[in-house]
Structure 1
Amino acid sequence: MMVTIILACEAAFWIAAATGLLLRYVARWRQASTVVLAMVPLIDVALVTAVAIDVYNGAAVTGVHRLAGIYLGWTVVFGKSTIAWLDGWFAYKFAGAPRPEKKPKEGPEAMQNEIKSFVKWLMAAGIAIAVCFGLSVTVADATQATELRGVLQPLLLITIVWFLTGPAWVKGKTEAKK
């Protein structure tokens, strides 16, 4: 059931983003677009509420429940920039705006982008921890709480991989060119 809810929330995010941008650039209804895009955080509220209810009702906590916390952290931190990125492409395709610039793959600007992205990931991971630990002390029993706190292991793995394939990789490429 939780997998379906997470997938529905992910689909709802993309549907809301696309609808908002289509309203803005195709229908030229900027105000309606703003309203639709402003409702995106409600999707996150629905997800956390569903997880809280599921845990409260005694569901065995699995990786899917922890994934909901990670998803929430991701959308809170990266949702706005994802929509801004989409907005740039929609403006280019439908409103005659210039093509969005590609991000540099090496050099100081690339390093700055990677560090910024990594710091954003750390914030998203912090939100995931806060959500999972918050649920562990508010709606979970002892066994569920232990499972919810297990979010630390995948977050640590993601963080290490992100660092190695992001800032460390770009730094290595930049130094190799010197």
Structure 2
Amino acid sequence: MGLIIACEILFWVLVFSGLACRYLWKQTKLSNLLLLLTPLVDLVLLAATIVSLRGGAEATLAHAMAAVYIGVSIGYGHRMISTADTWFSFRFAGGPKPRKKFGKEHARHERSGWLFHALSWAIGCALLYGMVLIVGDASQTEALVQTIRIWSIILVIDFIISFSYTLWPRHEKKISV
């Protein structure tokens, strides 16, 4: 579990360091390098998880969370970095303030967010099933299978919420004087 937490922290350290280099210190090349290093964090985590399982470790929630983290990082990674970039630009470089989305634009954003979630789920579940195959013993992989079940339920709930905005779009609140 410690390695997963370390990888998550390292991911965000690389993102914010890259953005700080870009906007605070005007070091575009270093910024790009730091942001390009973020996928390496995923590879390190994947390698460590595989080594652990191949070494005979029982599959635990930590292994399951590694697969979830990698799925989310790949599925949402670009979107998360882009959102952080927009806010960082606004806060530290005089960029435009990110605006809230309403109506059809918000509904489209929520639907696309669900598609990123579905992609993350597919990648994460493929990794979880791969771990089940690596271990090869159903009694030792219950945490992995349970994670797939729970994540699948969450994906369905997210679908209902995300697509509900198509029928009932979010409207801008009017301030009455």
**Bin for the TM-score computed over the shorter chain:** 0.7 to 0.9
Offset of 1:142 from its aligned partner?
Answer: 2.1
* Equivalent residue for 2:17, pick from 10, 13, 19: 19
Offset of 1:32 from its aligned partner?
Answer: 0.4
Matches within 5 A, 1:1-178: 3-104=1-102, 107-137=103-133, 139-143=134-138, 144=140, 147-168=143-164, 170-174=165-169
Q: Structure 2: how far apart are the matches of 1:69 and 1:110?
A: 29
Structure 1's unaligned 5+ residue stretches are: none
TM-score, with normalisation over the residues of structure 1?
0.87
Q: Is the 8 A contact 2:60 2:141 kept in 1?
A: no
What CA deviation, in whole Å up to 9, does each residue of 1:9-39 have, x standing for no partner? 1101110001000000111000000000000
What CA deviation, in whole Å up to 9, does each residue of 1:148-170 have, x standing for no partner? 344420221211221233222x2
TM-score, with normalisation over the residues of structure 2?
0.87
Q: Is the 8 A contact 1:25 1:94 kept in 2?
A: yes
Q: Structure 2: how far apart are the matches of 1:55 and 1:116?
A: 34
Q: Counterpart amino acid of 1:161?
A: I
What CA deviation, in whole Å up to 9, does each residue of 1:35-73 have, x standing for no partner? 000000000011111111111111111222112111111
Q: Structure 2: how far apart are the matches of 1:58 and 1:158?
A: 30
Q: Structure 2: how far apart are the matches of 1:49 and 1:101?
A: 39
Identity across matched positions, percent: 27
- CA root-mean-square deviation: 1.8
Q: Is the 8 A contact 2:128 2:148 kept in 1?
A: no
Q: Structure 1: how far apart are the matches of 2:88 and 2:168?
A: 32
Q: Is the 8 A contact 1:24 1:30 kept in 2?
A: yes
What CA deviation, in whole Å up to 9, does each residue of 1:73-113 have, x standing for no partner? 10101111111111111111222211112222xx2222211
Q: Is the 8 A contact 1:133 1:145 kept in 2?
A: no
The number of residue pairs the alignment matches comes to: 169
Q: Structure 2: how far apart are the matches of 1:64 and 1:154?
A: 15
